[in-house]
Amino acid sequence: MHAYQVECTPAQLPPVRIADGIRAQKLPHPHVPVGDPETPGKGVRIPLTTRLAASCNGGAALIARAAVYRDPKSGGLVLGTERTAAADDARALVLLAASSRFPEGVSVTPQKGVGLLARGETRNGGQQVLLLWPDGGKVLVEDPGGEERYELRRAGDEFDMVPAQTPR
């Protein structure tokens, strides 16, 4: 499935930045960090299979396509190469970073068939999540105080952010 890195920053223009591919890190071993894995309890490292790590383009370590597997030994998630992509599989692997400009931080809630694989917190109080995001899926990004809410929507390789109604 395609891989995207999306940054949601409601206070900036444009409020959504999209990159084709997810950046991986090579040390201490090839992985995709979610949140801040250096701080205990704030993030995780999702390891890459040897084959996926070898297919990344040199020093940039950019993952354009990947599949998610369970490691049979540890039970943890592993990113690897796709075996064969199903023609009707319109899901994407998305690393979403929601920056916090709210005093109480930021909350990210997957909706409408979006699967949460991993969640972490960034050093600036934002959230980062690794998602399996189907075409037409939505994610709610909000101020925990309830002041501002946005829906982030995916349609193919396009993402858009619209204000969401506040529940009454």
- Check if the beta carbon of residue 93 is closer than 8 Å to that of residue 80: no
Sheet holding 107-111, edge to edge: 107-111, 138-142, 149-155, 158-163
pLDDT at position 94 is 94
pLDDT at position 106 is 79
pLDDT at position 69 is 92
**Which of 130, 147, 43 lies closest to 139, judged by CA?**
130
DSSP string, 2-42: EEEEEEE-TTSSSSEEEEESEE-B-SSSSEEEEE-TTSTTS
Task: Tell me the per-residue pLDDT of 147-161, one tens digit each, with 9 for 90 and over.
Answer: 778 889 999 888 888
Q: Is 118 helix (H, G, I), strand (E, B) or coil?
A: strand
Task: Tell me the per-residue pLDDT of 96-123, one tens digit each, with 9 for 90 and over.
Answer: 988 766 666 778 889 978 999 999 988 7
Q: Which two tokens stand for residue 109?
A: 């809630």
Distance CA 84, CA 90 (A): 13
pLDDT at position 100 is 65
Look-up of token digits 């790590």: 53
